[in-house]
Each structure stands twice: as C-alpha cells, then as structure tokens.
Amino acid sequence: MSLKDIIAPFSVWKRVFEKPYTNKKPIDTRPGAPRYRGFHVNDLDTCIGCGTCEEICQNAAIDMVPVRETRHGDSGLRPKMDYGRCCWCALCVDICPSGSLGMSNEYLWVDEDPEVFRFIPGQDGKPWNDSELGYRRAEGYDLLEGSRVPMPMLSVQESQKSFVEMVQGYSKEQAKAEADRCIACGICVATCPAHMRVPEYIKAIRDDDMGEGLKIVYQANPLPASCGRVCSHACEYVCAMKHKGEAISIRWLKRYIVDQIYLGDYANILHECEPDNGKKVAIIGSGPGGLSAAYYLRLLGYAVTIYDANEKAGGMLRYGIPEYRLPYDQVEKDIEFIASLGVEFRQNVRIGIDVDFLEVYDNNDAVFFSTGLSNPFGLDIAGEDLPGVVSGLDLLADVTNGKTPDIGSSVVVVGGGNVAMDAARTSRRYGADVTILYRRRETDMPADSEEIHEARGEGCEIVVQAIPLRIEKGTETRLMLYWGKAEMVSDGPGKRPRPVLIEGSEEVIACDTVIPAIGQAADLTFLPQDIASGLVGKRGYVEVDEFHRTPVAKIYAGGDIANPKRDAISAIANGHSAAKGIDIYLGNFQN
C-alpha cells in the first residue's frame, strides 16, 4: 500500500466536469440503427401467404390468418405476429421467398393493453408501415436456393432430327438437390387440378423412399409417367420459389419417382383393389379422364369396361403428343398398370357405330365419358380442301400410327397452341422447313413458353400477328398460303386485344403443306339426339356438377369436353371426382 494508492483515486475527480452520458429530459428518442430488428413490416400485395415464416419461427410467434381472397398462387393468408412470443431473430425475414416481409427500425411502443402487441403487419395501420429502414435480408446472404437444377436435355442438333425423348431426366443427386429446394408451402397442392400432394412426394425424394413417393402420387394421379413428362404444370407457375428465381421442377421430380420403379414392382407398393362389389361401369374414351375414372373405380371394386375408338388406349396422350415429349412406352406403363388391376379395354370400338350407346347405358350401372375434342376447327378460308392441307391432330395421329406423313419440304403451321408446336416440331423432325403463323402476339400464345422456346431453338420460324387469307395451288411447291399482317386492337380495359387485319398487307408463303392447328371441338354424335341435347350446356361444354354428374341420370362426363382447362391433369382430376360421384350415387360410398 503506497501513498499513490491513497491519492490516485482522487485524480479521477476531473470526470465531474465531463458531460453526462445519459440523455437529458425531455428524452430525444434515438432512431434504431438502419438494420435494427424492430416491429415487422409486410407488403401484403407481394406476400403470397406461403407460411414459410410461420414454419421457421421456433417460437410459434407467427400465425397465418385469412386476410385476402384466396386465388391461384396466393393462399390469402397473411402472417400475424405475437410479440409476446417473438424473439426478434428475423429468420422469418431471411426465409421469406417473396421478400415481402421485413422489420422496421422502430423499437419504442408502449401500451397498457397487451392485446395490441398481436397484429398483422401491413394490415393494421402502424406508423412504421412504410419504414424504409430496419432489418432486411442482406445482399449475399440467402437461406434458400433460387435456381433450378438444370435438366439434362438432348442437344438441339440431335433433337431436331430424332424422336428420342428430349428431356433426359434427373439423376439421383440432381433430383435430391432439386427436391431440397422445396419449402413445402403447399401452394402447388391448392393449384393442381388433381390436388396432388406435391410437398409430400418431394419429401419422399429427399428421403430416397421411392415406394412412398409412388404411393402418394397414385393417390391423386394414376398416370404419373405421362404427367411427369407432359403435365401443363400449373403448380410450377405458382410455386413460391418462383418468387426467388425458378420454380421447383415439380413435374420432373414426379417423373423421377416413377422412372425409378419398374412396372412389375407397382403391385407390391400400391394398394390392392377392394373386392368386387358386383356393379358395372362403362367408360367411353381411354384418354386421361377415362383412365383415371377407371383406375379409381376399379380400386373401389367396380367392374370397369373402357370403350375406345382407337387401336390403342391413351387418347391424346398417345395420339396427340409426339414421342419426343412423351415416349409411347411411358404411356403404356401407366395404362398397363391400370389394365393389370382388371380393367377391361375394348379398343377399336366406336360407340354409336359398332355398339349402340343405349346398349352400353342399359347394361351398366353408370357411364362415364371423356371423349375429348376430336374435331379440328377449320381455317374457314378458301382452298382449305386442297391436297396438302392437313390438320395438326391428323398429322400427329398419323405419326403415332407409324405412317410417314406426306408433308414435303416446307410446312406452314397455323396456330399458337401446344398442338401447333407439336405439329411444327414433328414436321421439323421429318426434315421440313417450318413456319408458324399466329394471329396474336407471342405473349398471347397459349402454348407453354418452353415449347415455344424449344420450337424456335429447333429452327421453326415463328411469325406473329399473321392472319391466313387463302390457300392456292402453287407452281414449284404444292401450295401458296396468302396471309396478311394484323394489328392488335384494344376492346377496352381488362379485355384481351383482338387482331385486326391491316388492309393491303398481303404476303405469300410457298409451301408444300399447311397445317391448321387452331383448336378443336367435341364430337358428341355417338350419343342419341335426346341425350346429347340434355347434356350440352353453355359454351359447348357438357354440363356437370362437382362430381362430374351430367343432368342425365347415370351419365358422368369429364376431360376436355367438360372443363375449360383442357389439359391432361384436369381430365385426371375429373375422372377421380367422377369415380367418387359414381360411388356415392351407387350407394357404395363409405366414409
């Protein structure tokens, strides 16, 4: 102990003259730091209600509550925060796929009512709602992966001269990596017409449990090998991950599951049918709708007979979709499993010609028909009946039947839908130069964007805003197609602009073949007149209720004739609900 020890402490007396550290009254509140994790903000228009914030919150401080109307790609739910539970970790902000959720730098809020600390950010007016400052996910830090695992594809050089399947499928590692991106929000389930349990089968891929995956897939879709290739994948258009970049390859993951299992092993994995219940159901048309209804009815113990006009079953899956998109053996894999359950297929039977409809009607307890749209629309222009004009559907069916189409060396396809793209790309594979004419803009094309992209990549020329005027016989080539340019005329806000011909803009293409592919209509001539008139409702669709029951007793309908979506997965969903409807109608339904 020295003298210093007595004196030294007094030297800090100088601090008396320092300014105090504490704030003087009235307290001037300091704003939180720009990154401060304060009360949440949420852009309700950007938020899609996927609930990933709720999923990651380890405090269960977030509840998804209904705020908006549910629509495609938006559950309508929005997060409600409970600040009695929130620990301000901001993982919810980090994981938010749409990037709508953030935190303000507001940290001072006093209220005597604890209830007010539970609110919906963005919905309930708070002074910090427009706060630009506060925690946001930093650039360079991301808990989710926005880019898709690239799918191995045939090169364009190879694909444009062969019918080998272009999409080669994921390897195990690729599929697992792609499956890992899924956040299991389930927005896809709500959007899928068949409500397939997508996150669950994607989980099966992560768990490497293909049997479980197949079981889940078959619960809502008995044609997964086909759907895994050509489904219109409404799910991928709404996938939450799309907001971060690319949607999960839901369709190709489903295909991955099915590709891993041999048909022979299906029986060991999937449920067996119920015992026969002694009731009979006839199905007319063996497209996706008919096959789906047959599968689910057979599972329930019905004796099912499918009548189909074509040589082989599958409908448009087989005759409308080219082999490079959907190989025939894959269609067969789906169909053979359904056949193996005891469904009777009667091919090459035209109802109304070979067998009378009433005979089928009287001999069965119920009839389901999904005969699809088989009558192609004509172009309604002069010269349409010249040799060399062939509809897209006829061309595709010929190719399936093994005929080499007589298309010459130059082809013009008219239309912008998937049939037009299929016809164009098929023609390209037979060595023809292909031009696609479409009345509207490219953005209006009903075909999938990847189809358009691939068609162009394979060398098809796409001419938009082009209206065919007439077809004449050519001199050097078989035909001359005259067409005029169109301008888009608005019909008022909210309405689709319509193409109007620009007078005097006529041009001509010399070609060997013109393929109209501008849509098709239903052919219900197989039905007796009185029944047909009772079925068709507004806009030409067969009128059905939620169980796909028509106004005529015992008759059910589905697929393209009964729903405006006109895709395979909707037809599959129709077949499934019709099967349930028939089961209920026939009094067999057990909860």
Shortest spacing between CB 59 and another protein, in angstroms: 8
* 141 is a contact residue toward another protein (CB under 8 A): yes
* 291 is a contact residue toward another protein (CB under 8 A): no
- Considering only 154, 184, 269, 341, the residue that binds another protein (CB under 8 A) is 184
Compute the distance between CA of residue 183 and CA of residue 205 in angstroms, rounded to an integer: 14
Query: Which tokens belong to 291?
Result: 């096959």
Beta bridge partners of 80: 63
* Contact region with another protein (CB under 8 A), list: 178-186, 187-195, 254-262, 531-539: 178-186
* 94 is a contact residue toward another protein (CB under 8 A): yes
- Considering only 12, 110, 489, 553, the residue that binds another protein (CB under 8 A) is 12
- Considering only 83, 88, 482, 547, the residue that binds another protein (CB under 8 A) is 88
- Considering only 44, 91, 151, 153, the residue that binds another protein (CB under 8 A) is 91
Is the backbone of residue 334 left (phi > 0), alpha (psi -120 to 50) or beta?
A: alpha
Shortest spacing between CB 199 and another protein, in angstroms: 10
- Considering only 39, 128, 135, 302, the residue that binds another protein (CB under 8 A) is 135
| Cβ proximity of 310 and 331 under 8 Å | no
Q: List CB contacts of 552: < 8 A, sequence separation 6 or more.
A: 531, 534, 535
* 91 vs 339 by CB, closer to another protein: 91
Return the sign of the alpha-carbon dihedral for residues 179, 185, 191, 192: positive
Find where tokens 């709602």 sit: 129
* 55 is a contact residue toward another protein (CB under 8 A): yes
Query: Which tokens belong to 18?
Result: 């320092």
Compute the distance between CA of residue 523 and CA of residue 561 in angstroms, rounded to an integer: 9
Q: List CB contacts of 188: < 8 A, sequence separation 6 or more.
A: 196, 198, 199, 235, 236, 238, 239, 248, 250
| Cβ proximity of 187 and 240 under 8 Å | yes
* 110 is a contact residue toward another protein (CB under 8 A): no
Compute the distance between CA of residue 224 and CA of residue 361 in angstroms, rounded to an integer: 30
Nearest to 332 by CA among 349, 311, 348, 350: 311
Compute the distance between CA of residue 198 and CA of residue 229 in angstroms, rounded to an integer: 15
- Considering only 89, 154, 488, 501, the residue that binds another protein (CB under 8 A) is 89
Compute the distance between CA of residue 194 and CA of residue 222 in angstroms, rounded to an integer: 11
Q: List CB contacts of 321: < 8 A, sequence separation 6 or more.
A: 230, 396, 422
Find where tokens 């009094």 sit: 587
* 206 is a contact residue toward another protein (CB under 8 A): yes
* Contact region with another protein (CB under 8 A), list: 111-119, 131-139, 213-221, 482-490: 131-139
* 95 vs 261 by CB, closer to another protein: 95
* Contact region with another protein (CB under 8 A), list: 51-59, 215-223, 315-323, 551-559: 51-59
* 102 is a contact residue toward another protein (CB under 8 A): no
- Considering only 8, 108, 156, 267, the residue that binds another protein (CB under 8 A) is 8
* 488 is a contact residue toward another protein (CB under 8 A): no
Beta bridge partners of 467: 484
Shortest spacing between CB 129 and another protein, in angstroms: 19
- Considering only 53, 77, 81, 95, the residue that binds another protein (CB under 8 A) is 95
Single-letter residue type at 65: V
* 56 is a contact residue toward another protein (CB under 8 A): yes
| Cβ proximity of 50 and 61 under 8 Å | no
Q: How many residues bind another protein (CB under 8 A)?
A: 45
Shortest spacing between CB 94 and another protein, in angstroms: 7
Single-letter residue type at 585: Y
* 85 is a contact residue toward another protein (CB under 8 A): no
Compute the distance between CA of residue 442 and CA of residue 413 in angstroms, rounded to an integer: 15
* 249 vs 520 by CB, closer to another protein: 249
- Considering only 203, 215, 470, 580, the residue that binds another protein (CB under 8 A) is 203
Shortest spacing between CB 89 and another protein, in angstroms: 3
* 450 is a contact residue toward another protein (CB under 8 A): no
* 143 vs 382 by CB, closer to another protein: 143
* 180 is a contact residue toward another protein (CB under 8 A): yes
* 27 is a contact residue toward another protein (CB under 8 A): no
Compute the distance between CA of residue 288 and CA of residue 231 in angstroms, rounded to an integer: 11
By DSSP bridging, strand 280-284 and strand 366-369 are: parallel
* 142 is a contact residue toward another protein (CB under 8 A): yes
- Considering only 41, 47, 81, 103, the residue that binds another protein (CB under 8 A) is 103
Compute the distance between CA of residue 149 and CA of residue 151 in angstroms, rounded to an integer: 6
Compute the distance between CA of residue 430 and CA of residue 406 in angstroms, rounded to an integer: 10
Interacting residues toward another protein by CB under 8 A: 1, 4-6, 8-9, 11-12, 15, 21, 32-37, 52, 55-56, 58-59, 87-91, 94-95, 103, 135, 138-145, 180-184, 203, 206
